[in-house]
Chains A and B, each alone.
Chain A
Amino acid sequence: MKICVLVKEVPDAAVEKKVDPSTGRMDRSGEKNLNPYDTHAIEAAMQIKEGGSVPVEEVVAVTMGPDSAVRALHKAVSLGADRSVHLSDPAVAGSDVAATGYALAKTLQRESPDLVLLGQQSDDGECYTIGAVVAEHLGMPSLTQVIKMDVEPSESHPPGGSGSLRCERQAEYGYDTVQIELPAVISVGDAINEPRYPSLKAIMGAKKKPLDTVTASDVGVDPAKVGGDNSGAQWVGAKPPPAKAAGEIIEDEDTGETVEKIIAWLDQRKLL
Chain B
Amino acid sequence: MANILVYALHYDGAINKNSLGAVSEGAKLAAELGGEAHALLLGEGVPQDLAASLGSYGAKKALVAEGPDGLAQPLVDAMAAAISGGDYKYALFGGGLLGFEIGAGLAARLGAGVAMEVTNVRAEGGELIAERPILGDSSISEIKYRSPVGIIIGRLNAFEAKESGDGPAVVEQLSYELSPQAQQSTILVRGEQRGADVDIEGADVLIAGGRGLGKPEGFKLAEDLAAAFGGNSAVAATRAVVDAGWYPYAAQIGQTGKTVAPKLYLAAGISGAIQHKVGMQSSENIVAINKDANAPIFEFSDLGIVGDLNKILPKLTEAVKAKKES
Task: List B contacts of A128 (CB < 8 A).
Answer: 100, 116
Q: Which of A176, A234, A249 contacts B113 (CB 8 A)?
A: A234
Task: List B contacts of A184 (CB < 8 A).
Answer: 184
| CB-CB contacts below 8 Å: B239-266 with A | 239-240, 242-244, 249, 256, 263-264
A98–B301 CB distance below 8 A: no
With contacts A177-B192, A252-B312 known, is A172 near B16, CB below 8 A? yes
Task: List B contacts of A174 (CB < 8 A).
Answer: 190-194, 249
Interface segment among A50-58, A197-205, A253-261: the answer is A253-261
Q: Which residue of B lies closest to A139 (CB)?
A: B181
B139–A98 CB distance below 8 A: no
A139–B107 CB distance below 8 A: no
Q: Which of B100, B103, B137, B315 contacts A259 (CB 8 A)?
A: B315
A248 to B138, CA, bound (A): 19
Task: List B contacts of A170 (CB < 8 A).
Answer: 239, 242-243, 249, 256
Q: How far is the CB of A108 from chain B (nearest CB, A)?
A: 13
With contacts A176-B187, A250-B305, A271-B263 known, is A98 near B113, CB below 8 A? yes
A17 to B287, CA, bound (A): 26
Q: Which of A173, A189, A237, A258 contacts B307 (CB 8 A)?
A: A258
B301–A179 CB distance below 8 A: no
Q: Which residue of A lies closest to B101 (CB)?
A: A132
A189–B243 CB distance below 8 A: yes
Task: List B contacts of A259 (CB < 8 A).
Answer: 312, 315-316, 319
A244–B300 CB distance below 8 A: yes
A141 to B143, CA, bound (A): 29
A252 to B293, CA, bound (A): 11
Q: Does A24 contact B (CB under 8 A)?
A: yes
Q: Which of B256, B293, B301 contacts A247 (CB 8 A)?
A: B301
A133–B113 CB distance below 8 A: no
Task: List A contacts of B47 (CB < 8 A).
Answer: none
With contacts A144-B100, A172-B98 known, is A272 near B113, CB below 8 A? no
Q: Does A269 contact B (CB under 8 A)?
A: yes
A76 to B303, CA, bound (A): 40
Q: Which of A102, A251, A252, A262 contacts B303 (CB 8 A)?
A: A262
Q: Which of A129, A131, A178, A262 contacts B187 (CB 8 A)?
A: A178
Mostly, the B contact residues are mixed
Task: List B contacts of A142 (CB < 8 A).
Answer: 72-73, 101, 105, 181
A136–B138 CB distance below 8 A: no
A237 to B105, CA, bound (A): 26
Q: How far is the CB of A167 from chain B (nearest CB, A)?
A: 9
A253 to B191, CA, bound (A): 45
Q: Which of A137, A147, A247 has the most C-beta atoms of chain B within 10 angstroms of its own C-beta?
A: A247
Interface segment among B23-31, B127-135, B168-176: the answer is B127-135
Q: Which of A177, A265, A272 contacts B320 (CB 8 A)?
A: A272
Q: Which of B131, B134, B304 has the most C-beta atoms of chain A within 10 angstroms of its own C-beta?
A: B134
B303–A250 CB distance below 8 A: yes
Task: List A contacts of B190 (CB < 8 A).
Answer: 171, 173-174, 176
A43 to B249, CA, bound (A): 25
Q: Which residue of A lies closest to B252 (CB)?
A: A170
Q: Which of B144, B147, B179, B307 contacts A251 (CB 8 A)?
A: B307
Q: Does A115 contact B (CB under 8 A)?
A: no
| CB-CB contacts below 8 Å: B103-148 with A | 103-105, 107-109, 111-117, 129, 131, 133-147
Task: List A contacts of B323 (CB < 8 A).
Answer: 263, 267, 272
Q: Which of B104, B147, B287, B316 contacts A97 (CB 8 A)?
A: B104
Q: Does B81 contact A (CB under 8 A)?
A: no
Q: Which residue of B lies closest to A98 (CB)?
A: B107
Q: How far is the CB of B41 from chain A (nearest CB, A)?
A: 15
Q: How far is the CB of B97 from chain A (nearest CB, A)?
A: 5
B112–A232 CB distance below 8 A: yes
Task: List A contacts of B70 (CB < 8 A).
Answer: 171, 176
Q: Which of B137, B189, B243 has the most C-beta atoms of chain A within 10 angstroms of its own C-beta?
A: B243
Task: List A contacts of B145 (CB < 8 A).
Answer: 232-234
Task: List B contacts of A258 (CB < 8 A).
Answer: 305, 307, 312
Q: Does A240 contact B (CB under 8 A)?
A: yes
Task: List A contacts of B16 (CB < 8 A).
Answer: 172
Task: List A contacts of B39 (CB < 8 A).
Answer: none
B104–A255 CB distance below 8 A: no
Q: How far is the CB of B43 from chain A (nearest CB, A)?
A: 13
Proximity string of chain A (169-195) to chain B, C-beta cutoff 8 Å, 1 when within and 0 when not: 011111111111100100001110000
Task: List B contacts of A110 (CB < 8 A).
Answer: none
Q: Which residue of A lies closest to B9 (CB)?
A: A172
Q: Which of A26, A130, A255 contacts B312 (CB 8 A)?
A: A255
A244 to B301, CA, bound (A): 10
Task: List B contacts of A172 (CB < 8 A).
Answer: 9, 11, 16, 96-98, 256
A136–B109 CB distance below 8 A: yes
| Sample of 13 A–B contacts (CB below 8 Å) | A101-B104, A132-B104, A132-B108, A133-B108, A141-B185, A142-B73, A143-B101, A144-B101, A173-B11, A176-B70, A247-B304, A249-B304, A259-B315
Q: Interface of A with B (CB < 8 Å)?
A: 17-19, 24, 26, 96-98, 101-102, 124, 126-137, 139-145, 147, 166, 170-181, 184, 189-191, 225, 231-241, 244, 247-252, 255-256, 258-260, 262-263, 265-267, 269, 271-272
